[in-house]
Amino acid sequence: MPEKHLDAAKLIDLSMHADELILSSNMEDLRKFFDLHNDTEYQFENLIDKAHYYYLLGNCASTLFSYRNQEWFSDDLSKSVIFYRKALHALQQEKYLTDEQQYLLSCVETNLGNCLSSQGRSFCCIPVWDQAIERKNNPVAITAKARNELFIAQSLYDQGHSAYHYFKAYNLINLGLENIDRLYPEQREAFAQDGELMNFKSWFEDNFTKKEFDYFESHEDEFETREQQDYLDWCSKNVLFLNDLNDVCKSQIVYQDIMTMPSVMQKLNSSLSMHEELMYHGNFDELKNDFCYARYLVFSARNIPNDETHFFNQTYPHVNDMSYTISNLKAHHYKSAFRTLYSLFDKIAYLLNRFFDLNDIGKDHKISFDSIFRKLENRKEWEPHEKLKSSNNYFIHALFYILKDIRDVKDSTSVTKWLDPDAKAFSEMRNAMEHRSLKIADDFGYSLLHFDAERLQSELEQLESSALSYEEEIRKLNLKIKTEKNCAMRSEMEAEMLDLESKLKDANEQIYEKKKLSTHSLLIPESEFKSRLMTLMKLARNSIMYLSMAIHLEEKGKPKNDALIMSKKVPLR
């Protein structure tokens, strides 16, 4: 791949040219422009220029690869998300941003939110838009979030919750109107008098008053203990309730994991027990229970000091392996939470597989979160199951794109790396935890371990250099031995050869030992592990909610005129 230097002046020219191609809808020239620059490796003067470059490529990709013009599982639909995440990562590395750079960041966040929304990820996009709105009151993000609130309201089975999302959409539309002068002329069309948003605004004003929603903010719960309140406050603040209201409201009314599997239509079958009739609902409840357990483990672990001991593992003397590893209850709570959360994705896949009847039950052992989106018979080449390939169920699409966030999909562009480029991959952490060794290190101790890394790397490079030198000397000496006719000289060279071979063997053994022992455990600092764990928890939370909404959307499309089909009310404890 060719490498070029791209300075600020050239970048401005590129950006203006890209904007012209996008506005003119010249797809052929835009494609040539995108392919040319996507295949070129550039060097930048600073991180801001790098972010600006990835932002313009993201805009090109989102225009070229429109969700309406591509199959929902097209690899091209991930490209814009990757570019926006690259731009976001570059900007986040800068400590101080000017007002203009803050605006660029809000534009990146807005467009990233738009891309996530187009993938059906109606909850994943909200925090990204919220950042853009909080940062610069970005009117494009305000408009997009208003539309998303309408989409969520129309997708829920709980009409009480739908009304609150309508209320939030109404407030956003009014905020958008206050900032309409900051929109480009073509963007103002969203607020046309006969358009969707303004028609909704009139409908809302005819059917609701803002006062009706006061109780959402004023509602107060009663708590059994201070710890319970602290826990529920923490869940709300971090948007961890299985409750669609938690994404747009932080008051105590959201302090419940209310989203569940909706009622489903079932054919009458006298051979089924009550337990079997409620199998899917019981399974969904189990998913929620596992999630809540993992969530509580993380909450419980966060304030445990790294050096606090517990009787659970005080039955033997611990080895001090100088890795500054945390091996107390805190670390094991974190690891147990990670395992539980990671396993939820395969369990979601199993429920999807059974509910949508995707594969024969004899193939249950092959079902996993990645295999659910491809034919089990064709493992070499990725291709969605026929029933999913033609699906217009947005929430199944959302689950597929979450899969790409946590695992690399075969024959597909890697998205997971750019979810958090500086952190270890989820799959690498899980593999080390389950099959090898994963150690969570104290942050300060971890920094001390890497303090001497430069010297150790120099030692390794010296060993590798010596090995190469020995190999070259052996090669040359071998040629001399073959042509040497003097027996005494040949014996002397053969002795020298044995000495060189011994040195080469010793160097290679040291290199191998270094490689073997340095890769035996995955050592990860506590702050990084916690960050990845919180991200995984939010993706698991959203996935459970997308699963509920996917099933509800599917049920809405079923015919209801068959007398032998009924909707069964789900009993609660």
Where do the domains of the chain lie? 3-218, 274-302+325-437+525-554, 455-520
The two tokens of residue 140 are 């494009």
361-395 tens-digit pLDDT: 988 888 888 888 877 776 556 677 888 888 899 99
Q: Inform me whether the pLDDT recorded for 132 exceeds 90.
A: yes
Rounded CA-CA distance 389/70 in Å is 12
Q: Are 84 and 60 in contact (CB under 8 A)?
A: no
Give the side-chain half-sphere CA count within 13 A for 210.
6
The residues facing 3 across adjacent strands are 41
Which DSSP letter does residue 325 get?
Answer: B
Mean pLDDT of 80-88: 94
Radius of gyration from C-alpha coordinates of the chain: 29
* Enclosing H/E stretch for 44: strand 41-44
Options 2.40.50.100, 3.10.580.20, 3.40.50.720, 1.25.40.10; CATH for 3-218 is: 1.25.40.10
The H-assigned helical ranges of 441-525 are: 443-449, 453-483, 487-518
Least confident of 399-413, 501-515, 532-546: 399-413
Mean pLDDT of 275-304: 95
Rounded CA-CA distance 294/300 in Å is 10
Question: CA distances (Å), 492 to each of 186, 472, 473, in order?
Answer: 86, 18, 15
Rounded CA-CA distance 291/283 in Å is 13
| pLDDT for res 561 | 61
Q: Are 104 and 70 in contact (CB under 8 A)?
A: no
Rounded CA-CA distance 51/48 in Å is 5
Question: CA distances (Å), 249 to each of 130, 165, 190, 358, in order?
Answer: 12, 10, 25, 37
Angle at alpha carbon of residue 475, lines to 469 and 478, rounded to 5°: 135
| pLDDT for res 513 | 95
Q: Inform me whether the pLDDT recorded for 27 exceeds 80.
A: yes
